[in-house]
Amino acid sequence: MPEINTRFLFTLALEIQVSSLGDTPYGRRRMFHFDGGSFDGPKLKGKVLPGGGGWSLIRRDDVMEVDARLILETNDNHQIYAAWKGLRHGPKEVMDRLYQGEIVDPGAYYFRTTPYFETSSEKYSWMNRICSIASGSLSANARTLDVFQVL
């Protein structure tokens, strides 16, 4: 079977405010408001425009489903819409530490997303035609995603 290869696109750092709806019939529901952030990679870099958001559901099996949308603005003033879905899970003791706001080694849990992009920019139109994957982590001051193009 052939291997699937990837190429690093950028690291996305998000400034996030979290609100919790609490336990619902489907699990624990949370909402995220993206206040801003930045992204930096070999082919593009810039800032995250305020106003994007995300929604998560911590299911009864303790897997967190994520659905997020935001606008990236490159340093040369092009806008790119980004949307992704993903999953985060791990051993109970690791996830409890994450939910308490502790910084945990990203290798101790699984956090993967599938970002897709949309833009009217001719310069970045190549992003309209790619699939990507990302690995997420938490740091002291941001949530980050390392985004890779699937080749």
110 has pLDDT over 80? yes
> Is there a contact between 114 and 135 (Cβ–Cβ < 8 Å)?
no
> Is there a contact between 38 and 13 (Cβ–Cβ < 8 Å)?
yes
> Is there a contact between 45 and 58 (Cβ–Cβ < 8 Å)?
no
| Residue pLDDT, tens place only, 32-57 | 999 999 999 999 999 999 999 999 99
pLDDT at position 119: 98
140 has pLDDT over 70? no
CA distance 12 to 3: 26
pLDDT at position 141: 60
Name which of 58, 52, 10 is nearest 35 in CA terms: 52
Enumerate residues 6+ apart whose C-beta is below 8 A from 135: 106, 111, 112, 145, 146
- Global pTM value: 0.91
- pLDDT tier, 122 (very low <50, low <70, confident <90, very high otherwise): very high
* Mean pLDDT value across residues 100-121: 93
List of domains in the chain: 6-150 (2.40.160.20)
Residue that wins the pLDDT comparison between 140 and 84: 84
Least-confidence region, from 21-25, 89-93, 100-104, 140-144: 140-144
